[in-house]
Structure 1
Amino acid sequence: MLIYKVVETSQVDDLSLEKILNTWTALGWHLEGIHFAMREASRRPGMAFITFTREKEE
């Protein structure tokens, strides 16, 4: 059975995203995708939601 992990961050810079990716993949999670929430007044995202998956251990 597949289980999901969602990590939310308001620090949307390369080092912060890299840290999250490296942390969770080292724990056995597989990157599913990254979704950005945009701010109206800026071209930079205000938040990111990073989703991971892995098989549930029996």
Structure 2
Amino acid sequence: MLYKVVETSEVTDHSLEVLVNQWTAEGWHFDSLQFAMREGNRRPGMVFIFFTRDDDRSDQ
């Protein structure tokens, strides 16, 4: 299993949709996301998007 983490400070529905669509089109499977909050602010300052995919490398 391979993992990919994408981080962005542009936390809007549109920017997240673009990133998820971009990486799933490249064969990654959306796993989860985690917001990083700013102190004293209700909106997240950053988001981490996690993807997975099978490791196609054969053992040699």
Distance 2:56 2:26 in 1: 13
Distance 1:21 1:12 in 2: 13
Number of residue-to-residue matches in the alignment: 57
Runs of 4+ in 1 over 6 A off after TM superposition: none
Name the amino acid aligned to 1:47: M
TM-score, reference length from structure 2: 0.91
TM-score, reference length from structure 1: 0.94
Percent identical residues:
60
Could you give the per-residue CA deviations for residues 19-57 of structure 1, whole angstroms, max 9, x where no partner exists?
000000001100110000001121000000000000011
**Which has the higher Rg, Structure 1 or Structure 2?**
2
Could you tell me which runs of 5 or more consecutive residues in structure 1 were left unpaired when the two chains were aligned: none
Distance 1:17 1:41 in 2: 23
Could you tell me which runs of 5 or more consecutive residues in structure 2 were left unpaired when the two chains were aligned: none
Q: CA RMSD in A?
A: 0.6
